[in-house]
Structures are given as C-alpha cells and as structure tokens.
C-alpha cells in the first residue's frame, strides 16, 4: 500500500516510515498540516496515519476538511494517551481507527491492513483469484499452493491490482501506488514489473487493456 504519514515528532515519523517500508509499503511522510494538504491533494494514498497535534494546526481539522470534500481515504489517528475526547471527535469526524501513543508498530500495521480491506469492501484478509492467493500481511503469494518469490515492487504491483478486482488500473495509478514522491520512476518501470509478474505467475494472469491499463484476470487462469 502507499501510506501517508503525518507526524511532527521526528523520531516517531522516521520510525513509522522505516517500519512501514519494512512491511513492504511505500511511505510518504510529512510533519505539518500545510505539507499534509499538499501531499494528500492527489489522493493517491491507500491509507493515512494522522497525528492530531501538529505545529501549524490540528490533524482533526485536516480530517474535517478531507471528509467535507468527500475524500474517503482511510485515516488512522494517532492520539495522546488518555485523550478520549480527541478519539471521540476524530471518529465522529470520519476517522476509521485510532491508536494511542505509545503504540506497537506491528499492531498499527495490522490496523492499516484491516482499514484497507474494509475500504475495498472485503472482510477477507487473503486475496484470492482462482489458483492465485495473495496474503498482504505475510507478503506471500502462492500459485496452486506453491509459493512464488516476488520482489517488493512486484508484490506491490500485484497487490494494487488485486485490491481492485475486475477493474482496469491505469499505469499512472500503479506508479502512484508503488513509488513515493522522492523516487525516480523509469518510464517503463510498470511494464517491467508486469512483465516479470507474468513470467512468474503465467502470461494470462494480468491482462493489458490497451490504452487504459491493466487488470488481474478474475478467473485467475494462470496456467
Ligand atoms: Ca504531534
């Protein structure tokens, strides 16, 4: 997933960025409301981790603005311990979950996965397409029960397609999902990942819809 972290505490922000990157996510991190507005403008993120106390305002104000504008990216609030009022207000404003500081990074990562599942309208943790199974938590892919070794980017491309079953996903949407802003993206990077995925999962697994993008074949006929 591509995750936006908004947290002004440098140690916490870097810890979140590194920890979530280790879990295979692409992370963009900012430290103020102003930067957060800019970062979230494209709404390319699958989830947002939002601190409430920021130097130039409240995370709750950001949340209010986004929800009023109709943006429904899942938001997990980071709240100070015992700040029950912040949590209530945050949930009422449209936050999807919260965690009090200090928190356990593994639990935060699990909550982000759960939020993304609900956002996709699924309760099931494992994504299944015929013989293909994708486990975002374990970052494990199997084809016909045989584990398939995918690079971090290959997995991210596959997960991006799998989270949008039956939908055509544009190349730029895939790029947004797997690369952070500071990363240089080669012009044919997505094609290269798709090519490698087809090599590992079967040529028919991912369909090219000319001029529009890619689609994971829902019958999973990866023979
Ligand atoms: Ca703070």
Q: Which pLDDT does position 123 carry in this prediction?
A: 64
If 0-12 CB within 10 Å is exposed, 13-18 middle and 19+ buried, where does residue 203 land? exposed
Q: Whole-angstrom Cα distance, residue 201 to residue 94?
A: 39
Helix (H, G, I), strand (E, B) or coil at 145: coil
pLDDT tens digit sequence for 115-149: 888 776 666 778 888 899 999 888 899 999 999 99
Cα of 82 from ligand 1 centre, angstroms: 15
Q: Which letter, b or e, does each residue of 57-73 get, where b requires 16 or more Cβ atoms within 10 Å of its Cβ?
A: ebbbebbbebeeeeeeb
Q: Which long-range contacts (CB under 8 A, 24 or more apart) does 180-185 make?
A: 180/2, 180/26, 180/27, 180/28, 181/28, 181/39
Cα of 8 from ligand 1 centre, angstroms: 5
Structure tokens at 102: 């200090």
Domain ranges, ordered by start, for the chain: 2-119, 127-216
Cα of 32 from ligand 1 centre, angstroms: 9
Q: Which pLDDT does position 120 carry in this prediction?
A: 66
Helix (H, G, I), strand (E, B) or coil at 136: coil
Q: Taking a C-beta distance cutoff of 8 angstroms, is the pair 23, 2 a contact?
A: no
Q: Which pLDDT does position 185 carry in this prediction?
A: 80
pLDDT tens digit sequence for 68-126: 988 888 999 999 877 889 999 999 999 999 999 999 999 999 999 888 887 766 667 78
> Band of the pLDDT at 10, cuts 50, 70, 90?
very high
Cα of 56 from ligand 1 centre, angstroms: 10
Q: Which pLDDT does position 16 carry in this prediction?
A: 96
pLDDT tens digit sequence for 145-175: 999 999 989 999 999 999 888 889 999 889 8
Q: Whole-angstrom Cα distance, residue 124 to residue 128?
A: 9
* Mean pLDDT to the nearest integer, 13-20: 95
Helices 152-162/189-201 angle, 10° precision: 80
Topology annotation, domain 127-216: Arc Repressor Mutant, subunit A (1.10.10)
Cα of 30 from ligand 1 centre, angstroms: 12
pTM (2 d.p.):
0.73
pLDDT tens digit sequence for 181-220: 777 888 889 999 999 999 999 999 999 999 899 999 866 4
H or E stretch covering 148: strand 146-148
* Mean pLDDT to the nearest integer, 20-45: 90
Domain 2-119 has CATH 3.40.50.2300: yes
Cα of 53 from ligand 1 centre, angstroms: 4
Q: Which pLDDT does position 220 carry in this prediction?
A: 44
């Amino acid at each position: 997933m591509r995750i936006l972290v908004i947290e002004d505490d440098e140690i916490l922000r870097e810890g979140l960025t590194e920890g979530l990157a280790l879990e295979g996510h692409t992370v963009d991190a900012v430290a103020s409301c102003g930067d957060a507005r800019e970062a979230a403008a494209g709404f390319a993120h699958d989830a947002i981790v939002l601190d409430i106390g920021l130097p130039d305002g409240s995370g709750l104000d950001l949340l209010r603005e986004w929800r009023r504008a109709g943006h429904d990216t899942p938001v997990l609030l980071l709240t100070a311990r015992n700040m029950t009022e912040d949590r209530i207000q945050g949930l009422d404003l449209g936050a999807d979950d919260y965690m009090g500081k200090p928190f356990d990074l593994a639990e935060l990562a699990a909550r982000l996965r759960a939020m993304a599942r609900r956002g996709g309208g699924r309760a099931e943790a494992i994504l299944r397409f015929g013989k293909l199974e994708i486990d975002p938590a374990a970052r494990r892919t199997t084809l016909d029960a045989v584990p398939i070794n995918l690079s971090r980017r290959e997995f991210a491309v596959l997960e991006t397609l799998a989270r949008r079953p039956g939908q055509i996903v544009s190349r730029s949407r895939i790029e947004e999902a797997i690369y952070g802003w500071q990363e240089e993206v080669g012009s044919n990077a997505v094609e290269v990942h798709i090519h490698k995925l087809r090599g590992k999962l079967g040529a028919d697994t991912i369909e090219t819809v000319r001029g529009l993008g890619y689609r994971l074949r829902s019958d999973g006929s990866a023979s």
